[in-house]
Amino acid sequence: MDQHAIIIADQDGVIRLWSDGAERLIGHTAGYAVGQKLDLIVPEEFHAPHWAGFDKVMDGGPFGAAGQFFDLPVQCRDGTTKTLRGQLHVLRNEAGHAIGAMALFTAPP
């Protein structure tokens, strides 16, 4: 699993879980990343569309792409942007309300 990054954010986009694989692939330690907004890993040019989509889904809007694989740009600690293969999932409570999101990334081959 160390070649996989697992990142969980709450409904406000604050990182709550940062796996060892995320540290290896992206470069930030869990101690640094947890508590930061997702802007930490979303390249600046994608901030506006990222937050528009994230907020829409957290407000109950549809997310039809859950579980599909994407190539996503990820801003790394060293300032570079890597394209990582990943899946995005909306986390929901028992009532079906969005409470956060999870991203699973794998290292490029």
In this prediction, residue 2 has a pLDDT band, given cuts at 50, 70 and 90, of low
83 vs 37, 41, 49, CA distance in Å? 20, 11, 17
Q: Kindly report whether the global pTM for this prediction surpasses the value 0.75.
A: yes
Query: Can you give the residue ranges of every domain in the chain?
Result: 4-106
- Was domain 4-106 assigned CATH 3.30.450.20? yes
Greatest alpha-carbon pair distance for the chain in Å reads 40
Q: List the one residue out of 100, 92, 99, 89 whose CA is nearest residue 63.
A: 89
Q: What's the length of the chain?
A: 109
Using one digit for the tens of pLDDT, what is the confidence trace for 17-75?
Answer: 999 999 999 999 999 999 999 999 999 999 999 999 999 999 988 877 767 888 999 99
